[in-house]
Amino acid sequence: MDAEPDYIDDFAQFITASPSSYHAVAETARQLTAAGFTELDERAEWPSSEAGAGIGDGSPARHYVVRDGSIVAWSVPPTAGPATPFRIIGTHTDSPGFKLKPKPTTSSNGWLQAGVEVYGGPLLNSWLDRELELAGRLVTADGATHLVRTGPFLRIPQLAIHLDRDANAGLTLDRQRHTSPVFGVGDVSQADLLEHLVGLVPRAELDGTAFQDSGLHGSDVLGYDIVTADTAPPQRFGLDRQLFAAGRMDNLSSVFAGLVALLSLSEPDCPGRIDGHVSVLAAFDHEELGSESRSGASGPLLDDVLTRISGGLGATTEQRLRAYAGSWCISADAGHAVHPNYPEKHDPVNRPIAGGGPLLKINANQRYATDARGAALWATACADAGVSYQEFVSNNTVPCGSTIGPLTATRLGISTVDVGVPLLSMHSARELAHAADPPALSAALTAFFAPRVRSALSDGAGALPDERNAR
């Protein structure tokens, strides 16, 4: 793709700006605001009409709402009515790693260490011997929330081979004893992680006063959600710089692709039809933990937002349910490319390769929500975008993970299809993709938001166009 280098550069900047789910939401909100979206407060009354005509100039109404580490953004065309369906891209903002515990400053045998808890299902060995940072949010006594990040600050040191001669035969890590990072030498009386973190609060957040005059100290921090992140920058490399390595591509690859797709709808050369549905980007937190939280995909966030959008369009319960019945959701989450060193772990026939295009994810046991109609929808979007795609299905002896797709479909009854970028080393501190696949995913998501006009094109409950696999 001609735009590949620019896309990857922008994607790399997005990853760098997003060491935690809260930073990812802040960066997404920043880009949305710059593009003319306005933030709404869940505690406030929303506009009585979300239609573009309701704001007076016939342009789309574009808003977003933030709930902790999640964000939902949407664009309502001026032609929208009470039963207008939705086209939703669902993603997640969190990634596996470690989360800072209460009483985080510890010491052992002269080393200062951070108390951390395993978050999700990381490949533990991939986090060893890397310069890590702490990043996330602090909540202070005045109720304010502050985003902080340390830059390179921590390291989980591996035991030398001389002290573990069998390490190369099979490394075993105890999640409690072997994953505590070091950040200095001394004892707990000489260091306080919270004092260090609160000292990183940007001075602009303190009403312009100098930090030393602000009176803000570690004791003022009453709560925090702080995670670890790898500090090595994203990198293109390999033959013709085909390969792209970075942390947190599961699932920032999908968040960024969906954001680019949503922002592209306002471009004058947007080729498709965007007036037949409300376009929604939903990026949830806590997917790596199972999504069961107020800001996770199993929670009420998306239903709350869709209900309020429909209500703003004057919808009755009957009309809102009709809108849901005609809607589509794409659950975008990273998947697996076939691994050259472990090919036996993959299906012998359906073997997605890096650079072959985004994945259509299929599972007979509904670990993914894709069905035949969803597969046809994805084939159409990829054909419209001019990109190839690949099917992913698990080896019968290697159970697959799941996504927000089945959760969203179950909660809302909205037709859903699971897709994503193929990766190697998923859940590693640093994952690997082909540089052509992330922009291809975004192009297909853009085509999903802006489908070409065709007589057979219908909503989620109706017929699908007679389009075939773009491969």
Q: pLDDT for 128-137, tens place per residue?
A: 999 999 999 9
CATH class of the domain comprising 4-94+247-449:
alpha beta
Confidence of residue 269 (pLDDT cuts 50, 70, 90): confident
- What does the pLDDT average to over 410-419? 97
pLDDT of residue 462: 42
What torsion do the CA atoms of 140, 144, 149, 153 make, to the nearest 10 degrees? 0
97-230: which CATH topology? Aminopeptidase i, Domain 2 (2.30.250)
- Per-residue pLDDT for 202 more than 80? no
> What distance in Å separates the CA atoms of residue 217 and residue 290, rounded to the nearest whole number?
35
Q: Residue range 405-431: average pLDDT?
A: 97
Q: What is the DSSP letter of 45?
A: P
| Statement: residue 212 has pLDDT above 60 | no
Rounded mean pLDDT, 97-118: 97
What's the average model confidence in pLDDT over 267-288? 88
Q: What are phi and psi of 28, to 5 degrees?
A: -60, -45
Percent of the chain with pLDDT over 70: 90
User: Rounded to the nearest 10 degrees, what angle do helices 437-449 and 4-16 cross at?
Assistant: 90
| 4-94+247-449 against 97-230: fold identical | no
- Domain coordinates in residue numbering, the chain: 4-94+247-449, 97-230
Segment 312-334, tens digit of pLDDT: 999 999 999 999 999 999 999 99
> In 10 A of CB 342, how many CB atoms?
10
Q: What percent of the chain has pLDDT over 90?
A: 83
Position 458 scores a pLDDT of 47
Q: What's the distance, CA 132 to chain centroid?
A: 20
Contact 231, 152 (CB under 8 A): yes
pLDDT for position 147 = 96
pLDDT category, 5, cuts 50, 70, 90?
confident
For residues 323-336, one letter each, b for 16 or more C-beta atoms within 10 angstroms of the residue's C-beta and e for the rest, the string is: bbbbbbbbbbbbbb
Instruction: Please give the Cα distance from 418 to 199 (Å, whole number).
Output: 42
- Tens digits of per-residue pLDDT, 218-256? 899 999 999 999 999 999 999 999 999 999 999 999 999
**pLDDT, averaged across the chain:** 91
Q: Which of 169-173, 332-336, 430-434 has the lowest mean pLDDT?
A: 169-173
CA angle 24, 148, 179 (to 5 degrees): 85
Task: Output the DSSP codes for 369-415.
Answer: ---HHHHHHHHHHHHHHT---EEE-B-TTS-----HHHHHHHHH--E
Task: List the single range of 247-251, 268-272, 446-450 with lowest mean pLDDT.
Answer: 268-272
In this prediction, residue 275 carries a pLDDT of 84
Whether 18 has a pLDDT exceeding 50, the answer reads yes
pLDDT at 470: 33
Question: Distance (Å, rounded) from C-alpha 447 to C-alpha 441?
Answer: 10
Q: How confident is the model at residue 114, as a pLDDT?
A: 98
Please give the DSSP secondary-structure letter assigned to residue 128. Answer: B
Q: What is the pLDDT of residue 273?
A: 76
| pLDDT tens digits along 26-35 | 999 999 999 9
Render the burial of 171-189: b for 16+ CB within 10 Å, e for the rest.
eeeeeeebbbbebeeeeee
Cα separation of 452 and 86, whole Å? 16
Q: What is the mean pLDDT of residues 157-168?
A: 94
